[in-house]
């Protein structure tokens, strides 16, 4: 559908962002803000994209206990989006100010902001709308072992908890437009203590 279904009007200094993974979760979104989020939280469709499991963050924190001992993945895989003309992803639009945008840029440091105004079913007026897309230098596909790259089960649970805030149709669309996480790379992750 090419017709815009909704209109979101931004105030001066505001930026709209599209969340499609952990940012579907209000609690995750609010951890970055450091406060309760009370702004727009608008479901949307982004045409011509698909969710993939290839955003690889160098790992300095997470590990798992395996039958042969501790596994420390070289990288942790998170959701990414890639252009795919046969798929539309769903997500949620939220709004931040310039200071908050800097905090999300830091959180999503291996991603770059991509303008998706032309791909949206929502019209955004008065400011930019971006979606975070993994920088090519951090994309890693077809890993064979969790020692190389792993998917954290706690990340999967965070997404599932976030999806509970949406209706069954939204959840169905999410699953249809998302690659299945590679089962052989999923770990019951634990985090190293931050104390020295």
> What integer pLDDT is reported at residue 66 of this predicted model?
82
> What integer pLDDT is reported at residue 6 of this predicted model?
87
Closest to 73 in 3D by CA, of 91, 56, 49: 56
Contact criterion met (CB below 8 Å) for 76 and 59: yes
Query: What's the Cα-to-Cα distance from 130 to each of 18, 60, 73, 147, rounded to whole Å?
Result: 6, 28, 30, 33
> What integer pLDDT is reported at residue 68 of this predicted model?
83
Q: What is the pLDDT along the chain (196 residues), one digit of tens a residue?
A: 445 668 999 999 999 999 999 999 999 999 999 999 999 999 999 999 999 999 999 999 999 998 889 999 999 999 999 999 999 999 999 999 999 999 999 999 999 999 999 999 999 999 999 999 999 999 999 999 999 999 999 999 999 999 999 999 999 999 999 999 999 999 999 998 643 3
């Amino acid at each position: 559908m090419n017709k815009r279904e909704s209109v979101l009007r931004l105030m001066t200094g505001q930026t709209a962002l599209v969340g499609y993974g952990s940012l579907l979760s209000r609690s995750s979104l609010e951890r970055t803000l450091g406060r309760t989020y009370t702004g727009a939280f608008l479901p949307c469709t982004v045409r011509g994209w698909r969710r993939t499991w290839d955003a690889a963050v160098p790992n300095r924190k997470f590990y798992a206990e395996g039958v042969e001992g501790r596994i420390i993945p070289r990288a942790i895989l998170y959701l990414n989006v890639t252009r795919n003309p046969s798929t539309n992803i769903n997500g949620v639009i939220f709004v931040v100010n310039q200071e908050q945008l800097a905090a999300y840029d830091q959180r999503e440091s291996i991603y770059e902001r991509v303008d998706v105004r032309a791909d949206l079913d929502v019209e955004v007026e008065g400011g930019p709308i971006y979606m975070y897309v993994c920088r090519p230098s951090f994309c890693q596909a077809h890993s064979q072992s969790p020692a190389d790259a792993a998917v954290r089960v706690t990340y999967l649970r965070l997404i599932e908890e976030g999806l509970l805030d949406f209706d069954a149709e939204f959840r169905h669309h999410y699953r249809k437009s998302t690659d299945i996480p590679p089962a052989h790379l999923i770990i019951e992750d634990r985090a190293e203590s931050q104390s020295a």
